[in-house]
Structure 1
Amino acid sequence: MTDLPDHLLAGYRNFMTGRYVAEGDRFRTLAREGQAPETMVIACCDSRAAPEVIFDSGPGELFVVRNVANLVPPYAPDGEFHSTSAALEFAVQALKVKNIVVVGHGRCGGIRAALAPASEPLSPGDFIGKWMSLLAPSASAVSGNALLTAGERQTALERISIRYSIANLRTFPCINILEGKGRLKLYGAWFDISTGELWVMNRQTGDFERPEIA
């Protein structure tokens, strides 16, 4: 018996008889020459919002890091364990990506948790609660606005989290320097799972706008 769920093995068989047949040369080139993606994507680990699917990307095109609510913590060289910061360091310093895109999405469970900090934690460690406390000031401001509906508060904080992460990206010295020299660009986007709409953050105003699609 092979120790993987049946649906994963079935998916792998489809991959080997389908996509790998079509893109085998690409995979072999990547294995031989290494990866050189121009774009890093920081996205939520929600299974419904996979960046490679949203952007229809092939192997080797995107360097992706995913965490709860697509958050970038502030730069903190304190000797602790920082998985997102480690991925950023590798993408910027080793791979020398030209773009970093923070992608949020609708109906995010992490954002919902941030808007309800008093709810019962999922575990004694309350890892999600601690992680989402990064957004506590913004969550408090949004949740206190009685003129917004629950859905509007959710969407507002989802988009604020993208701006928050982009602001924190600029606390990393290497990113701040490279952006200042025009060698690295930072972007934000928000994906609506139910409609498939992508809203892109205007880098001048911070507003989220629908791009024109031919």
Structure 2
Amino acid sequence: MEDIERFIEGFGRFQKQYFAAGHPLFASLREGQHPSTLVIGCCDSRVDPALLTDSAPGDMFVVRNIANLVPPCTPQAPPGVSSAIEFAVCNLQVERVIVLGHARCGGIAALMAPRQLAPETDFVGRWMKIAEPVRQRIESGYQHRSLDERRRLLEQASILQSLDNLMTYPWIASRVAQGSLKLHGWYFDMECGALMAYSARQQCFLPMVPAAQAGPRAA
């Protein structure tokens, strides 16, 4: 119950900030939303896109799922994620899509060491099959690397797989070709507090915001 009370108190602070003080933001948002960015992030409780980017309500349209995966555009694609992407791109006309992955991803860990559950109830395992081709490439090409290194490689490679899968949606591919939609792959390294972005030119993830500097130790 302590968590519930904390959440309720938190909403009270939110209410005071955006409603009780005559803040104009929600007066505008009541008329509709116009986010410029779609973020496809992970469900992980440590990786809240709005918190990480210090964004206000209405700034971004967020789709969160296990391991920030995008299924390819097929009749069998899970409609929940695909419909959210369609709404953001076709209805809201977002200008960019960011696939936001992160270090220590539980979904990627599950892909590398699957649990022994019955197929009909292993929802995580079935969902993570989207990234199975990437796992096979990493495991076969980097056998000499440590488990932690392979996991990090897979976390980043799955972001690129999701970017490739986004391009299988015709209404995304056409807007990218027209230059009205940009796709980005970001990686939050919670080990050191850095934010990295994929560079197609360098073919690797490079720091956009470098690792946080450790503050002075308490006496």
TM-score in terms of structure 2 length = 0.87
Q: How far is 1:11 from its partner?
A: 1.3
Measured against aligned partners, the alpha-carbon deviations of 1:93-129 in whole angstroms (never above 9, x if no partner) come to 1000110000000000000011113x32399510000
8 Å contact kept, 1:187–1:203: no
Measured against aligned partners, the alpha-carbon deviations of 1:40-72 in whole angstroms (never above 9, x if no partner) come to 000001010111011111111101000000000
**1:89 aligned onto 2:82:** no
Q: Tell me how far apart the structure 1 counterparts of residues 204 and 158 of structure 2 sit (CA, whole Å).
A: 13
**1:188 aligned onto 2:185:** yes
Match of 1:56 among 54, 57, 62: 54
Q: Which runs of 5+ in 2 are unaligned?
A: 211-219
Aligned counterpart, 1:74 = 72
Moved more, 43-52 or 12-21: 12-21
Distance 1:25 1:194, change over 3 A: same
Q: How far is 1:195 from its partner?
A: 2.1
Q: Tell me how far apart the structure 2 counterparts of residues 181 and 100 of structure 1 sit (CA, whole Å).
A: 15
Q: What SS does structure 1 have at the residue aligned with 2:135?
A: helix
Measured against aligned partners, the alpha-carbon deviations of 1:133-154 in whole angstroms (never above 9, x if no partner) come to 1111221232343311111111
Moved more, 155-164 or 194-203: 194-203
Aligned-CA RMSD value: 2.2
Aligned counterpart, 1:27 = 26
Identity of aligned residues (%): 39
The 5 Å alignment of 1:8-157 reads 8-18=7-17, 20-21=19-20, 24-31=23-30, 33-78=31-76, 81-117=78-114, 119-121=115-117, 125-144=121-140, 145-157=142-154
8 Å contact kept, 2:196–2:208: yes
Q: Tell me how far apart the structure 2 counterparts of residues 178 and 5 of structure 1 sit (CA, whole Å).
A: 43
Q: Which runs of 5+ in 1 are unaligned?
A: none
8 Å contact kept, 1:43–1:70: yes
Count residues in correspondence.
Answer: 208
Q: What SS does structure 1 have at the residue aligned with 2:191?
A: coil
Distance 1:18 1:30, change over 3 A: closer
Q: What SS does structure 2 have at the residue aligned with 1:201?
A: strand
Q: How far is 1:206 from its partner?
A: 3.3
Measured against aligned partners, the alpha-carbon deviations of 1:59-91 in whole angstroms (never above 9, x if no partner) come to 11101000000000000135x751111011101
Return the structure number with greater relative CO, CA threshold 8 A, min gap 6: 1
Q: What SS does structure 2 have at the residue aligned with 1:121?
A: coil
8 Å contact kept, 2:71–2:78: no
Q: How far is 1:194 from its partner?
A: 3.1
Letter in 2 for 1:43: G
8 Å contact kept, 1:115–1:139: yes
Distance 1:107 1:122, change over 3 A: farther
